[in-house]
Structure 1
Amino acid sequence: MVQNRSLPRRHSLIAVVLVARLRPGPRLIFHYPPSPQRRPREDDWPEHSKYDSEPDPDAVDLPSSLTQSARDVQGISPTGTTDADNEENATGTLLGYSEDTLQKLLAPGCWADRKKFEVCLNGLTFVGHPVWAAQDGSWSRKHAHDDAGTKQESTPKTLGTSAASGSDTSVPTSPEPISMFNVVFVLDSARSNDNQQLASDLYNHVARKLSKALHYFQRQSQYVGLQTTTLLHLTAKARQDGASLAKLNVQAVDRSELAWVLKELYEKISIGEIAGIRLSGMEMSLQKPQVAPPERQDESELGPHSGLLLLQNKAALLLELTHADASPLVMFIQGHTPTKSMQKQSAKLGIPLDEVLGLARHLIKWRKARAIKPLHPRNTYVIGREAPFEQLQTYYIDDYSKRFPLLPSLPQILKVLNGKPIKWGALIMSSDHRTPYMSILAYLVQHRFVEQLKTYGWLQAP
């Protein structure tokens, strides 16, 4: 599997927090990272610098590229403290507020049971989906609080997995009695131009689905209670031993499956990737929907005349599709080519257009493909604005040479495309070379080394 190795854009997600209500009251059970920081906005991208090429015949003469900045930007919290200060005060404060304040804020009353929880506080947005137990302490869905009065949803069939199959042997057998839990995602509102949409996407596609799964396992085996007991025990022992918060987090992630899940969610979603997690033996994937930048909005909208570019090779994708119900998708992948539109793919495979578009959207949703304009040798392609030249020498040259060993090297191809714009077909030496050269084009478009040069015109009616 070839991963997208381009530099990720920083996300405004800065922390994931687990809060639960115990008999004494609300408690902040766990948070990741150990010392969340609010970074300055100018840290979003590395600095640009001149692309330095050696006087080699295969070298690419390009104007500029993204390079990693040597500047080390230190995180700043709302109170203006440094990382060291946060480490020293980590047992009492979080994001500039006392833990006592946050745990009361993030553990709302039963009026918020299984509803969207969103609070904005001094540039921070807290998003969660709190879940309460019934008044008799049970976790059945067939109950309603006096002040909730909302209709409960049925348990998703996809969560019907044995809760005991993946239990951690380090989890205590006697769970801590809890009456509610809330997994809260903390966003830095100042780092997003559309914070409301971002919070909504995070709630609908991550927080809500995660809470439903945790509720299911809590009802089946007191899963959240057991994990809470483990984390509280580790926290008490760390404070007794005088261990640092960083060491406590390492131990928590190692011994608590739920802590590992929160860590995985933060690390993947904060860079826009899919988080593959495991809850008590059940595997699930969570992600925030991708939003195409304005310059690629026309390509991101999949339609009958759109093309589809696979982001993994067909063999790797087919290995993941072992279920019998995946046969239409298998047929679609096997017959796929990025040079044909969805309408032509439908006619070629004998599958209705609506089904072809549905299969394509499924692959796009799970980051296995990308909507594009169909590739064609008569199209003109130029160096892309997001070309990952900072990884050209370290990764892409070797990867390209393994895929296309008998064809011109990647630097040679890029050098030609960096000159006067020409049609891609001008590089194809003969009809026998058409297929491999179109595969090269697909590789270049996949990794954003090139993009199609388009000409727009307008007509004014007399």
Structure 2
Amino acid sequence: MDPKKLKEYEFLWKTTQFPSFKNLSTPVFVSDSMASAPTAVKDPGLLGVALIIRSKDGPRFVFHYPPRPSTKASKREKLYGTELDESDSEDDNARGDGGDDSDLEEIFKGKGIGKLDLNDKSDKKHDHVEVPENDDHYDDKYGVQVVPWETVLGWSTADLRSILTPARGYHKKRFEMTLDPLHFITYPIHIREDGTWKKKKPKKAKKESTAADRNNNVEGSAAEDKHTGVDDDAEDDGGMTMFNVVFILDLPKHEADARIAEIYHHVIKSFHKALNHAQASSNYVWKESEMILGMREKAREERRPMSWLWSEILLRSTLAIAIRDVYIAISNNKIATIHLKTTPPLDLALQIPVPSFLTRLPGPTEPAMPGLLVTTANPLVADEGNEDQETLNKHFALLLLDDENKIIADIQAEDTEISAPLIECIRLCKPTLSFLQVAQSNSIELTSLLILAQHLIHYRRAIALPPLHSREMYIVSPNCDSRKLPVASVAWKKAFPLAPSLPSFLAMLSAAPRPYKSFAPSKNHRPTYLDMLAWLIRGGWVTQLRTFAWILVWPEIIYEVDYQLKADAIEKAKKGTKSNSGSSESPESTDESGPDKHSDNDHIQTLTAEQVAENARLGRLADKAAKQAAEEAAAFAQMPVPVATDHISRNNAEHLKTIPPYIIKDPHKVSHEESLYIAAIGKRITDQKAKDCWQKFVKYFNGNEALEMIALRENMKRKETWGILMQYQEHILVCKHW
């Protein structure tokens, strides 16, 4: 990997809005070998996408897709909690495994879009448009021609275009209109007041030219304008002053706000910024709009059917293709890959991010996502240089979500500057090795490796997870989609013909948890069994059973610390009493030999009464404190002296029965007493190596850090780490979950 190119790519990755890796944006689990893929994701509720502009002729409704948006309820399965409806499984089998991929395939077969193999052997035409209802023109009872494309979702396009072209005050701001139950969301782009679509960078100051040169330049510019027939930018864009692409959504009321914000930030805003860039660079939006409006007017005069017109528009307009691709991909929770024929050409990838894992199972009223990996292992950590940004955890590993050779072939087909580093990253990263281990063993810059891995994860080509290891425990995921077991069993048998059947292997994992290596017949079989494990995790069938711990303080430690605190307090009180008695002086013990004794006699006599009263008050307080200290010392003397036992959890002494055990939840935020508990526990550990590691390991006992990650984070051997942890088993409360 060339470090210079990777540094450049790191900058582009953080700043660009227009990634150019089309084939990397394919959906997850599109091949037959990945039949165990999760498919139950939230329905975006996208009904249609429309392009509206405003020019010197007023607002114009240019194009919308699909031709006839439907408000019927979505056919996508709507499970809640962990319930499984068998009827949905039958519907899935009827549709086939690749049913959801047919729509996405259209995105990549369009004009100007890179090719992509989705294992679909069909030869369907990409530009086929389904014949809508009321496809033909007709005359109403008043003899007025009714055009089929001038009505969308029951609303006249003439009315919608007036409402959906807001004033300049909404320039580059979220504009939302609700016509219950529909939501119209857009990000209007207005032309700048200086007549340009994008702020130009200031040019460097040039040397002053002579008057003759200036005259020659003016004459040359005038001649050029006369030759081209273009006077200014206003004629180039036909007087277009704004454009916006409106997304029409139908969402449940309780989810509307969150889902609208999600699609707005990730899709709508980015799509408008790309079109603004294209309009500023090559007048792209106006040229495409002018062409589409001309085709619409001609089809109106010739009374062409709507299906014919939409087919022709999609054959000739790359902007219409882009709108269609955005609709098809986003409505199916895929990544929309768009190619705009600007100068230079512009590639754009849009998606609503989908979770690659669940940290908790959905509740009975929450949408279910069966088949998605369940784990609390978060691969993102705060960046050391910038806490506001997150980066991949260097102690995690990369698990590809498709066949390695297929991903490499797709990247090679792109042949971009970053293709070679991406391919090398895929070949070097294994699910059994952390990013740090890969970087160290291959002398690669860790930051560059993490950037490449994050690119693959962003485009749904991989996920990050704790490295797979034969000593760890793995269980059947509580979120696995058992409806897909028959199809997945066939793919499993094809991938691992000599392995036990998938139901049998899952049944073995469902028994009492044990280290994964115990399932392999021999040590030579472990690599194959780790490949099997990666296959199962990739499909959401299996998840890791991780170990978490909190510091458990037994009554013996609590009593010992409390006894020592009281002893220190009594000793401090004694020292304070001695110092006070030694430094106190009687009011009468004054120097009577002073020369001014007789001159100040009257003043001393006036203060004597006050001093006597104050001394009496201080005496009473001292007597009370001494009495209280004596009582505390007497009570302390009767307390049993703490005795350190070999097993503090078994200490059943009478003076400890009223003291309950105490759990320290977060070692990073401890009180003074809790810090003394931790120090006292460290003194009880007999093994010297475990004693030295106690303060280093304490930070992991917070219930959030898995003990399996200690070896990686502390750069220790796994066997050695667990040997040390076993020395702490009496001082920690252990819990196992995913």
Using structure 2 for the length normalisation, give the TM-score: 0.48
List per-residue Cα deviations over 1:243-302 (Å, max 9, x = no partner): 554554343323321111111111112222211111004332222223454424733433
SS at match of 1:338: coil
The residue number in structure 1 matching 2:517 is 425
- Cα RMSD between the aligned structures? 3.8
1:283 aligns with 2:347: yes
The residue number in structure 2 matching 1:274 is 335
1:105 aligns with 2:163: yes
Matches within 5 A, 1:111-130: 111-130=169-188
SS at match of 1:190: coil
The residue number in structure 2 matching 1:265 is 326
List per-residue Cα deviations over 1:395-451 (Å, max 9, x = no partner): x44544443344344454345445565543232111111111111111111121222
Structure 1 residues 421 and 254, CA gap change in structure 2 (3 angstroms): farther
The residue number in structure 2 matching 1:181 is 243
List per-residue Cα deviations over 1:9-63 (Å, max 9, x = no partner): 2223222111111332112211122233345489542794459xxxxxxxxxxxx
Contact 2:56 2:238 in 1 (8 A): no
SS at match of 2:454: helix
List per-residue Cα deviations over 1:208-249 (Å, max 9, x = no partner): 332233233323433222221232233334445555545543
- Segment of structure 1 superposing worse, 176-185 or 246-255: 246-255
Structure 1 residues 427 and 190, CA gap change in structure 2 (3 angstroms): same
Correspondence for 2:51 among 9, 18, 23:
18
Paired AA for residue 527 in structure 2: T
State the alpha-carbon separation in 1 of the partners of residues 279 and 301 from structure 2.
Answer: 29
Contact 1:382 1:452 in 2 (8 A): yes
Matches within 5 A, 1:320-335: 320=411, 322-325=415-418, 328-335=421-428
The residue number in structure 2 matching 1:159 is none
Contact 1:16 1:31 in 2 (8 A): yes
Contact 2:429 2:435 in 1 (8 A): no
State the alpha-carbon separation in 1 of the partners of residues 325 and 86 from structure 2.
Answer: 36
Matches within 5 A, 1:135-150: 138-142=196-200
List per-residue Cα deviations over 1:87-117 (Å, max 9, x = no partner): 9996444344332232122212233333443
CA-CA distance at 1:348 after TM superposition: 2.9
State the alpha-carbon separation in 2 of the partners of residues 248 and 50 from structure 1.
Answer: 42
State the alpha-carbon separation in 1 of the partners of residues 461 and 471 from structure 2.
Answer: 27
Contact 2:274 2:348 in 1 (8 A): no
- Segment of structure 1 superposing worse, 283-292 or 263-272: 283-292
The residue number in structure 2 matching 1:384 is 477
Matches within 5 A, 1:153-302: 177-190=239-252, 193=255, 195-240=256-301, 245-280=306-341, 281-291=345-355, 292-295=357-360, 296=374, 298-302=376-380
Structure 1 residues 198 and 351, CA gap change in structure 2 (3 angstroms): farther
1:374 aligns with 2:467: yes
The residue number in structure 2 matching 1:7 is 39
CA-CA distance at 1:184 after TM superposition: 1.9
The residue number in structure 1 matching 2:451 is 358
State the alpha-carbon separation in 1 of the partners of residues 478 and 491 from structure 2.
Answer: 21
State the alpha-carbon separation in 2 of the partners of residues 455 and 11 from structure 1.
Answer: 36
CA-CA distance at 1:358 after TM superposition: 3.1
Contact 1:382 1:451 in 2 (8 A): yes
Paired AA for residue 68 in structure 1: D
Structure 1 residues 200 and 391, CA gap change in structure 2 (3 angstroms): same
List per-residue Cα deviations over 1:161-189 (Å, max 9, x = no partner): xxxxxxxxxxxxx9865322111222334
The residue number in structure 1 matching 2:699 is none
Paired AA for residue 181 in structure 1: F
Question: Between Structure 1 and Structure 2, how many residues are aligned?
Answer: 407
Structure 1 residues 89 and 387, CA gap change in structure 2 (3 angstroms): farther
Correspondence for 2:537 among 429, 445, 449:
445
State the alpha-carbon separation in 2 of the partners of residues 186 and 48 from structure 1.
Answer: 31
Contact 2:135 2:306 in 1 (8 A): no
The share of aligned pairs that are identical, in percent, is 30
Contact 1:8 1:271 in 2 (8 A): no
Structure 1 residues 459 and 447, CA gap change in structure 2 (3 angstroms): same
Specify the structure having the higher radius of gyration (Cα): 2
Structure 1 residues 268 and 42, CA gap change in structure 2 (3 angstroms): closer
List per-residue Cα deviations over 1:307-350 (Å, max 9, x = no partner): 32111333334441644455554443222111233343343333
- Segment of structure 1 superposing worse, 257-266 or 383-392: 383-392
Correspondence for 1:413 among 485, 491, 505:
505
State the alpha-carbon separation in 2 of the partners of residues 104 and 91 from structure 1.
Answer: 17
Paired AA for residue 216 in structure 1: H
Paired AA for residue 528 in structure 2: P
Structure 1 residues 366 and 103, CA gap change in structure 2 (3 angstroms): same
SS at match of 2:184: strand
Contact 1:299 1:306 in 2 (8 A): no
Correspondence for 1:68 among 77, 84, 91:
91
The residue number in structure 1 matching 2:431 is 338
Long gaps (5+) in structure 2: 1-25, 96-131, 137-145, 202-235, 361-373, 381-392, 554-661, 663-738
Contact 1:400 1:410 in 2 (8 A): yes
